[in-house]
Amino acid sequence: MRAFISRLFRRQAGVGWYVFAAGYFSALKLMVVLLHRLAYGVWPRFGDEAWYVMLVAIVFSTPVQAGEEIGWRGFALPRLASWCGLRWASVLLGAIWACWHLPLFFLPGADTYGQSFPVYLLQVIAISVAMAWLYARTQGNLLLVMLMHAAINNPLVVVPSTVEGAINVFSLSHSRVAWLTLALLWIAAGYFLVRMPSLEESARLDSARSSTA
């Protein structure tokens, strides 16, 4: 546990990486809003939370993501990468990550209750690819992926993609915002997959794995 925690602080990264981690999903959502306006002639539905509340929420919720990110990117990703390479590891981990949230789709009162799990699954895999790319490019910086995780969770309520009254978890979503978000996520994920380090370059993740074995 001490070895894991030390990895939250021991690696430095440039300011640009923090800007990317904090702004990636918000920039993508802004593009979704503009595309929705251009394609359909109307603005998408907006949530009730103010954008500045989301900024504060991102800052304060980043440490909370340690519970997931120490496990997903800190523990699982290096081990999967040593077996099948970073590209496939990021995709496989995304599928596992999404399925781990599946019970929330059946929990009344949850934001995901009754929503489309297939669309969610594809979105989370694309996000996992982006986070794996960030993790690899910053030599395993866990603080950055925690920040990115928080910055993805909070803007969801600003431009929601949920469908009111949805009850079929395994159907496809009827939300235009959800499909536009999915399309942009995979355009970006395609770039990250092409630019993902090779098996040889992922040796640095193997060393991270060894240090926590």
Please choose, from the candidates 4, 42, 49, 37, the residue with its C-alpha nearest in 3D space to the C-alpha of residue 153.
Answer: 49
- Which residues are CB-neighbours of 25 under 8 A, at least 6 positions away? 127, 148, 151, 152, 155
- What is the rounded distance in angstroms from the CA atom of residue 140 to the CA atom of residue 118? 29
Question: Which sequence spans correspond to the domains of the chain?
Answer: 2-211
- Which residues are CB-neighbours of 26 under 8 A, at least 6 positions away? 151, 155
- What is the rounded distance in angstroms from the CA atom of residue 75 to the CA atom of residue 7? 11
Confidence label for 67 from pLDDT (cuts 50, 70 and 90): confident
Neighbours of 2 (CB within 10 A): 6
3-state class (DSSP) for residue 127: helix
pTM attached to this predicted model: 0.87
Residue 197, pLDDT score: 77
Q: What is the pLDDT of residues 113-158, one digit of tens each?
A: 999 999 999 999 999 999 999 998 888 888 899 899 988 887 666 7
Please choose, from the candidates 72, 172, 175, the residue with its C-alpha nearest in 3D space to the C-alpha of residue 132.
Answer: 72
Neighbours of 91 (CB within 10 A): 19
Please choose, from the candidates 62, 52, 168, 41, the residue with its C-alpha nearest in 3D space to the C-alpha of residue 113.
Answer: 168
Q: What is the pLDDT of residues 74-128, one digit of tens each?
A: 889 988 998 888 999 999 999 999 999 999 999 998 888 999 999 999 999 999 9
